[in-house]
Structure 1
Amino acid sequence: MNFSKWNLPNLKKTDLNTKAGRKLAYTCLKIFLLLLLVGAVLGTAAGFGALKGLIATAPDISNLSVTPSESATYIYNSDGSVMQKLSLGSSNRTIVTIDQIPEDLQHAVVAIEDERFYQHKGIDIRGILRAGIHGLASGRFDEGASTITQQLLKNSVFTGWMNESSLIDRFRRKFQEQYLALQLEKKVSKEQILEDYLNTINLGAGTYGVQAASRRYFGKSVSELNLSECAVLAGITQNPTRYNPITHPEENAVRRQTVLDYMLEQGYITQEAYDEAVADDVYSRIQETDSQTEETSIYTYYVDAMIDQIIQDLMEQKGYTEQQANKILFTKGLKIYSVQDMAIQQICDEEFSNLANFPSGTQVGVDYALSVQTTEGETIHYGNDDFRSWYRQNFDSSFNLMFNDEDSARSALASFKESKTANGETILGERISLAPQPQASLVIMDQATGYVKAIVGGRGTKEASLTLNRATATTRQPGSTFKIITTYAPALDYDNMTLSSVYYNAPYTYRNGVPVNNWDSNNTYTGYTTIREAITNSINIVAVKCLTEITPAIGFQYAERFGISTLENSEALDVNQPLALGGITNGVTNLELTGAFAAIANQGEYIKPKFYSHIENADGEVLIDNRTPVTTKVLKEGNAWLLTSAMKDVVTKGTGTLISLGDMPVAGKTGTTSDYKDIWFSGYTPYYTCTIWGGYDNNDDLPTVDGDTYHTYHKILWNAIMNRIHQNLPVKDFEQPEDIVTATVCKKSGKLAIEGICDQDPRGSQVYEEYFIRGTEPKSSCDKHVALTVCQETGLLASSTCTPVTRVFIKQPEDNYDTTDDTNYAPPSQTCPGHKPATILDGLKDSQTPDSTTVIDPDSTQTQDTERRAEEDGDTPVTIPGDGDVSLGLP
């Protein structure tokens, strides 16, 4: 810088400018800081006010009691008698104090649920930060950070948190939960909080609290549990269904291993104790205990289904979580009123136990699971696929989990287990389930109320509660029963078709080029076919053409309106042409299919199937009420009756002729999938709707055996059961709506029949009486039959020289080039070339000289003269056989 005397004025000027700038900047900074301070104060005040408001509105826990009180739930029959007591395992809940709970169990739960439980003050800051970082990194804030204290509060205080509709609601609840956790820990000791939590938690199989779970799984008091058993219980808490050690020992074994690992890492157990627990064969003891208690604790299929429905209803209608719904069901002294008809149920059970109703070649199906631990500590799980592969390699390459008898099945399973433990592996758990095959399921509903009167979830002895229920949980392909639900119901109701609407039954392919085959072995093509006939004889091509016209999207919508919840809403999956024939991704349950047909039986009103009429709480107040059913209008009453009329034909002269209840009217639809993997009959009377499914659990084909009933036993069962149910019921018909009218129509056009034409079809009269909703009956006459004058000899259109006759023909579609039953009666397209008239000289040829070559020209004057004289004399023409018809005037 230049500091000479000549430059000093410039330096002073620059200094003044710099000072002025600094002063201005300082002033701006002060203003900014002041505004920032004001903003911070205002923001803090607002935030403080909001938080203060959240705190002020938090639930009062000054008198909170989180210790549960045991109160059994009872299910009552319709006559008021006790049907089932829902208790907590094999004994009532017993509240235990912390000193009765082994330290290993306390530590196991803390290690897996809240590792800093003994250090934090109610909330886990580190856990919250970890969950926050995980959420920011993954975009999913799904990692939990709740402490045991918070979980206790959520289950006891914030019971409606599932109803939270926004992020703000969740934040409000979460903040209040954390605030109350801090407050609770100021009032209550860690031991008391842990004690209440361990007495509250859901531990699967209908047990709540560690004492009930210990009794259920191990048959002893919780105070007697060892480390291995404690780890089993601690492993259940995260998901009581998935980690149930009875039904899912493999899943629980993995979780149990995690619990033991955490306990070792956190210093709760020694390596020696860890090794001993890992080597313990705890699941065999669980299975043994379960087998000893199953006689008194096993629920029926009906109770299983009712429990599932009640838990679902509590979640959907009351906003509870699954855990809370289970807790309410088993601990709050509810009174549940069943709608099961015990007399009907007894009939169903007896007929399902009657071997005469099933094929003679009954086999035994296997459902198997085995968990072992290798000498290196690795846990290996084996299931049905492993057993099947092993058996195929060693014995039978076509084996598919079925044996001829139970002894053979158990022997093979024992050999498999031996092969998997030959090197010193330790068995962690084993599950064996044997069931007769083929199987069947049944649902009977009162269509007027929606009440399920009886169900059967499978053949054979029921081995446990809340197990596989083929009537309510298993999904199978519905086959042709779906033609009614997805095709003909919407065709009538949405597209204003009628039972006389006609489609041409001829060779046809899906849009992708795959042929559509009719079910009968001859693949008969009937030509013009009414919807009534297509329903009666279950004609596949007509169903697919019909659905294609109304569009699969409409068929899909109607299926959902009928209560079918298992469909996949995608053109690549279920919104496509095979929907007409029941070709769907996941199949349907028997319960939902029965509900759909019950809607048709109930004049088009759908009612969701229900297993109970109402539920009362311990104070006698109604918690859920099904006594006034909620109905959804699926079909017009008239269209429901028309479908019923057509399905009565299925039973009397179609694919369901094995069904008969004497004078009692029956309507229904058969359903069979490819190679007889599934067989269905869903039918109804004016009283009840009943669906029976049959097939193998492993989806094998039902065999074709001469003289046996593999393909018909479902109909035999339906008959046996429904005949007994209706034995003493008055015979009555389905009530016909007032707007139903009749019209005389032609089967080949669906239009008004023409007398003298439609009734003169070469195959017999095609005229019949059809029902219509008033206003939909046809107004025009048949346009498929045509009466033509043809040559009696050639059948071609008659020329002037032919002997004419009148015959009736069927017009053919312009775009059809395939052979059907109708093409044999197509009208001729050519005219007869005519016949050469003869003369008297023709008749004298034989008497003339053989070499005579005289020929009379048919157009000559002589010939014309002969014909004219014959007409004038009134002689009757006579037909003379030969190369052509010759008319001669006789003298």
Structure 2
Amino acid sequence: MNYGKRGAAKKKKALRSKSKKWSKRFALTFFKAILLLILAVGIIGVCGGLGVVKGILASAPDTDIDVSPSGFSTFVYDAEGNQIAKLDAEGSNRVPVSMDKIPENLAHAFVAIEDARFYEHNGIDIKGIIRAGFIGLTSGHFSEGASTITQQLIKNNVLTSWTSESEKGFAVKVKRKIQEQYLAIMLEKQMDKDKILENYMNTINLGQNTLGVQAASKRYFGKNVWELNLSECAVIAAITQNPSRYNPITHPEKNAERREKVLGDMLEQGYISQSEFDEALGDDVYSRIQIVNEETGETAINSYFVDALTEMVMEDLEAAGYSETQAFSLLYSGGLKIYSTQDPTIQAICDEVCSNEENYPDGTTWYLNYQLTIQHANGETNNYSKEMLEDYLKQNGSDKKYPLLFSSQDDAYAAAENYKASLLQDGDEVLAEKISMTPQPQISMTIEDQSTGNVVALVGGRGAKEANRTLNRATSTTRQPGSTFKIVSTYAPALDSAGLTLADVFVDAPFNYANGKPVSNWYSSGYRGICSLRDGIRDSLNIIAVKTLTSIKPQLGYDYLQNFGFTTLVESEERNGQIFSDIQQSLALGGITHGVTNMELNASYATIANGGTYIKPKLYTKIVDHDGNILIDNTAGESRQVIKESTAFLLTDAMVDVVTSGTGTSVNFGGMSIAGKTGTTSDYNDVWFAGYTPYYTCTTWTGYDNNAKLSGKNGERNLAKTLWRATMSKIHENLENKAFNVPADIVTATVCSQSGKLPIPGMCDETLKTEYFAKGTVPTETCDVHYQGMVCEYSGLPATEFCPFGVPGTVTMTPALDAALSGNVNQNADGTAANQCPHNAAFFADPNANAIIAQQQLELDARHMLANYDAQMANLQAALQNAQAVLLNAQQQAAAATDPDSQAAAQNAITQAQQEIDNLNSQIMALQNAHALQQQQDQQAGTPGQ
């Protein structure tokens, strides 16, 4: 440095230099400008940032937020309050519990492992954020979590659309995080810590499709959350960070590691002591978890009863105004409590009886259902159905009518494998294959308490139930009801409003439907003549039932069936260009378009058992929503009076005869009043028994799923009655026998059994019977079947004063009802019916009357000849033998004659004997032909229909 004079002068000059002076001023000004620019940019950035944050917060949900979890399991309870099913959709397997029921150890476990400063922060954990940031900067991995329990609650229950952060951009993540922290702070101002923690523990995903601690406790430990010990609490808290990785069932070793950390954090934070830590760590909790898992299984298969219940609840919710989607969501994730009508004791009896193979006939067959999907080598994919397998079997040697029915499961599997082998070629791949077999014949059963309409038990099929909402043969399958329909379609309306009584009669004789087709009885032993309505019910007489419905008109029967609650009947339906209607005479025998369900048929019989009052069958009494409010009260149910109480009693009393002396005697287990009716379709495709006691109504059905014919050789046709008796006898073991109630307006009267009317002394003495009547329906007319006086020998009716064939006699005439039905009633001048012969004044006014009389005389002579066929034939045969003997003797005399006179006499005797023989042979042939013609006319054919 130059400190000399020259140097100082030089420096002084430099300081006074103008160029230097301006250079420094410019530099200072530029520096100030840069500072101002930086300051401006900073201010603008801060303002912009504040604006962005303000915008983010403005788009956040309202600070008055609801953080309570949504989506809860629905529970179904039986009539005794036992839980019988849990219904939940994905994301709704949750059972909420209040904080006072959650163990303190469980709450502390979550706090210790998830948010150690939970009770200190205001919703966001600043220390945690700094710690996570520091670890991220130093390690290069920003994986350390800093979300508080409050933030997680906001994320799970409020900001639900931002849960998949990995699929969002950085800006979106920042936006969500700012909103989450802001709402967490706001929530902490509105809600105390315990309530936040309660909602959190009711919300979190804990694996195995469980949400919340109560559902998890039930799934892993088979007990309520308040029963958990410290070790079990730590297991559940350990799941939270990664429900798949720390699943205690599938990854017990990973959960054990995490559980140790939970317990260690609890110890470090002062929630438990060292001894508690040691004891919990030594607990063999995972063995217990595996045992519970084996018992509970991954998914529960609901019973047929619960399946039917869910269908009914869905229908009722929609009827209450919910859309189908809303109803489904409410049922499976609304946290409902459904109180069913199922009686656990009765259901257990039904299940035991219907699953006991000893109750079934030998020779169970198996119905094969096989489906296959193959991807061929050329890339083409084909589906192969059960029907295609059936065609294959028919084309490859199966001579069975139903080739998918097998005598053993091994044979069924072999058939499926052979079919698959025939389809597969080199390079093909099986993409999907499904094989199942159901035992046959199949069954269904419904039991109802007729006084309440409560269905107390239900069985929808035979064999193991392998899935939910499978085919339910009690509620979803329609089958032809056979003769069980006679009671509700025909006899109920006939007695209730058509003016008929149990004593009224029709003739069991050949009768045709309106289309000309003969009505056949189920028995083949001829016809039974005059039969009352009671006889028709007791012995299931088809012709009597059809005549009764024809008499009262099928429309009336159809209207009553509608009122009995049947929903599957059709008034008019077009199918393939053809119109079908159930308003037909065949309605009497259950010949209908679509059939009926077991539950609806059972409800119609329960109506009779309930004094004529129909109650729509109920599977539940009430539904309570998540908040404890009654959503639907079904306790009373829908009801209406279908038939009079007196009518119900008359039907009941007649059906008691079915069980004691008719077609249903095998169901009678003694010591209990029983009424019921058998039902068999004409080809034995369906066999039923519907009956009741003073306590319960039960209907059983048996048949093949593919409509194969039930066998008569091994007892299959008796299976419905076998199951009915086995079930109902056990149900009534400890119940007091009660007689069926007799209404006050029921009276008795003695009538002639052949007419159903008041007897004529001296004429009806051999045909008297006592019958029940509703008051006001006791007959006032006298018997019109028994007649004594002049009888028309030709017509068999009482003779008119003009009758040329009148003879004294006694006649049993066609009952008036039957005569009117068949049109065989003559009319008086005033149009009224008259049971007299046709030979009246109008007959003789016909110019052809004499010719008709002559023809009738010939017919009468033929009848006379046939009347004593056996005696006449015996006389003719004897006379023929005598004439043949005379002929033989004359021939011998002719051979021995030596003179012309003797030969002439013998030859004359031969001629006379031959003429006698020819005459007798002609008479015999005529008698035989007449008899054969009569037999042909009298020939009958019967088909089943009990």
Distance (whole Å) between structure 1 residues aligned to residue 93 and residue 424 of structure 2: 39
| Deviation at residue 811 of structure 1 after TM alignment | 4.7
Q: Are 1:775 and 2:776 counterparts? A: yes
- The DSSP-based 3-state class of the residue aligned with 1:473 is coil
C-alpha offsets along residues 42-77 of structure 1, whole Å, 9 cap, x if unaligned? xxxxxxxxxxxxxxxxxx999898997131111122
In structure 1, the partner of 2:101 is: none
Distance (whole Å) between structure 1 residues aligned to residue 297 and residue 421 of structure 2: 27
Q: Are 1:401 and 2:404 counterparts? A: yes
Q: Are 1:715 and 2:716 counterparts? A: no
C-alpha offsets along residues 349-399 of structure 1, whole Å, 9 cap, x if unaligned? 111122221111111112232233444554433222111111222241324
Distance (whole Å) between structure 1 residues aligned to residue 87 and residue 696 of structure 2: 29
In structure 2, the partner of 1:333 is: 335
Mapping of residues 8-23 of structure 1, within 5 Å? none
CA contact (8 A) 1:665 1:685 kept: yes
Quick one: which amino acid aligns to residue 692 of structure 2? Y
1:348 to 347, 350, 368: 350
Quick one: which amino acid aligns to residue 647 of structure 1? M
Distance (whole Å) between structure 2 residues aligned to residue 207 and residue 518 of structure 1: 61
Quick one: which amino acid aligns to residue 606 of structure 1? Y
Query: Relative to structure 1, is the Cα distance of residues 324 and 425 closer, same or farther in structure 2, using a 3 angstrom cutoff?
Result: farther
CA contact (8 A) 2:614 2:641 kept: yes
C-alpha offsets along residues 463-521 of structure 1, whole Å, 9 cap, x if unaligned? 11111111111111000111111111111223122112222222111111111111112
In structure 2, the partner of 1:785 is: 786
- The DSSP-based 3-state class of the residue aligned with 2:683 is helix
In structure 2, the partner of 1:83 is: 84
In structure 2, the partner of 1:303 is: 306
1:549 to 548, 551, 560: 551
Q: What TM-score comes out, normalization by structure 2 length?
A: 0.56
Between 400-409 and 532-541, the greater mean CA deviation after superposition? 400-409
CA contact (8 A) 2:474 2:599 kept: yes
CA contact (8 A) 1:89 1:207 kept: no
Q: Are 1:618 and 2:620 counterparts? A: no
- The DSSP-based 3-state class of the residue aligned with 2:368 is strand
Q: Are 1:607 and 2:615 counterparts? A: yes
1:479 to 478, 482, 485: 482
Mapping of residues 826-865 of structure 1, within 5 Å? none
| Deviation at residue 92 of structure 1 after TM alignment | 2.5
Number of aligned positions between the proteins:
585
Distance (whole Å) between structure 2 residues aligned to residue 574 and residue 207 of structure 1: 51
Q: Are 1:521 and 2:520 counterparts? A: no
| Deviation at residue 788 of structure 1 after TM alignment | 4.8
Q: What is the Cα-based RMSD across aligned positions, in Å? A: 4.1
| Deviation at residue 99 of structure 1 after TM alignment | 7.1
C-alpha offsets along residues 605-654 of structure 1, whole Å, 9 cap, x if unaligned? 11111111111112211111121232111111111111111111111111
Query: Relative to structure 1, is the Cα distance of residues 509 and 811 closer, same or farther in structure 2, using a 3 angstrom cutoff?
Result: closer
C-alpha offsets along residues 94-150 of structure 1, whole Å, 9 cap, x if unaligned? 97966776999x9xxxxxxxxxxxxxxxxxxxxxxxxxxxxxxxxxxxxxxxxxxxx
Distance (whole Å) between structure 2 residues aligned to residue 559 and residue 295 of structure 1: 45
In structure 2, the partner of 1:415 is: 418
1:452 to 427, 451, 455: 455
| Deviation at residue 313 of structure 1 after TM alignment | 0.8
In structure 2, the partner of 1:654 is: 662
C-alpha offsets along residues 584-610 of structure 1, whole Å, 9 cap, x if unaligned? 111111011001110111111111111
Query: Relative to structure 1, is the Cα distance of residues 827 and 538 closer, same or farther in structure 2, using a 3 angstrom cutoff?
Result: farther
Quick one: which amino acid aligns to residue 632 of structure 2? I
Quick one: which amino acid aligns to residue 758 of structure 1? C
C-alpha offsets along residues 267-323 of structure 1, whole Å, 9 cap, x if unaligned? xxxxxxxxxxxxxxxxxxxxxxxx999764200111111111111111112x11222
In structure 2, the partner of 1:382 is: 384
| Deviation at residue 814 of structure 1 after TM alignment | 8.8
Mapping of residues 215-234 of structure 1, within 5 Å? none
Query: Relative to structure 1, is the Cα distance of residues 796 and 636 closer, same or farther in structure 2, using a 3 angstrom cutoff?
Result: closer
Query: Relative to structure 1, is the Cα distance of residues 400 and 560 closer, same or farther in structure 2, using a 3 angstrom cutoff?
Result: farther
Q: Are 1:563 and 2:549 counterparts? A: no
| Deviation at residue 683 of structure 1 after TM alignment | 0.2
Q: Are 1:734 and 2:740 counterparts? A: yes
| Deviation at residue 414 of structure 1 after TM alignment | 2.4
Distance (whole Å) between structure 2 residues aligned to residue 717 and residue 788 of structure 1: 55
Distance (whole Å) between structure 1 residues aligned to residue 163 and residue 821 of structure 2: 85
More helix by share: 2
Q: Are 1:501 and 2:504 counterparts? A: yes
CA contact (8 A) 2:364 2:407 kept: yes
CA contact (8 A) 1:401 1:698 kept: no
Distance (whole Å) between structure 2 residues aligned to residue 690 and residue 827 of structure 1: 51
In structure 1, the partner of 2:683 is: 675
In structure 2, the partner of 1:276 is: none
| Deviation at residue 744 of structure 1 after TM alignment | 0.7
- The DSSP-based 3-state class of the residue aligned with 2:677 is strand
CA contact (8 A) 1:100 1:222 kept: no
In structure 2, the partner of 1:841 is: none
Distance (whole Å) between structure 2 residues aligned to residue 419 and residue 429 of structure 1: 16
- The DSSP-based 3-state class of the residue aligned with 1:712 is helix
CA contact (8 A) 2:351 2:459 kept: yes
In structure 1, the partner of 2:760 is: 754
Quick one: which amino acid aligns to residue 84 of structure 1? A
Distance (whole Å) between structure 2 residues aligned to residue 595 and residue 441 of structure 1: 14
| Deviation at residue 324 of structure 1 after TM alignment | 1.5
CA contact (8 A) 2:787 2:798 kept: no
Mapping of residues 245-256 of structure 1, within 5 Å? none
In structure 2, the partner of 1:859 is: none
- The DSSP-based 3-state class of the residue aligned with 2:782 is coil
Query: Where does the alignment leave 5 or more consecutive residues of structure 2 unmatched?
Result: 1-60, 96-155, 169-208, 220-240, 245-293, 573-578, 800-806, 825-835, 840-855, 865-946
Q: Are 1:664 and 2:647 counterparts? A: no
Distance (whole Å) between structure 2 residues aligned to residue 612 and residue 797 of structure 1: 64
| Deviation at residue 415 of structure 1 after TM alignment | 2.5
Structure exhibiting the larger radius of gyration computed from Cα positions: 2
Q: Are 1:442 and 2:445 counterparts? A: yes
Mapping of residues 688-727 of structure 1, within 5 Å? 688-705=696-713, 708-727=714-733
Quick one: which amino acid aligns to residue 73 of structure 1? T
Between 554-563 and 417-426, the greater mean CA deviation after superposition? 417-426
Query: Relative to structure 1, is the Cα distance of residues 640 and 466 closer, same or farther in structure 2, using a 3 angstrom cutoff?
Result: same
Query: Relative to structure 1, is the Cα distance of residues 549 and 734 closer, same or farther in structure 2, using a 3 angstrom cutoff?
Result: same
CA contact (8 A) 1:339 1:612 kept: yes
Distance (whole Å) between structure 2 residues aligned to residue 632 and residue 207 of structure 1: 45
| Deviation at residue 537 of structure 1 after TM alignment | 1.0
Query: Relative to structure 1, is the Cα distance of residues 61 and 101 closer, same or farther in structure 2, using a 3 angstrom cutoff?
Result: closer
CA contact (8 A) 1:451 1:610 kept: yes
- Identity value in percent: 48
C-alpha offsets along residues 532-563 of structure 1, whole Å, 9 cap, x if unaligned? 11111111112122222222222112111111
Distance (whole Å) between structure 1 residues aligned to residue 635 and residue 540 of structure 2: 37
1:469 to 467, 472, 495: 472
Distance (whole Å) between structure 1 residues aligned to residue 433 and residue 696 of structure 2: 42
Distance (whole Å) between structure 2 residues aligned to residue 713 and residue 663 of structure 1: 22
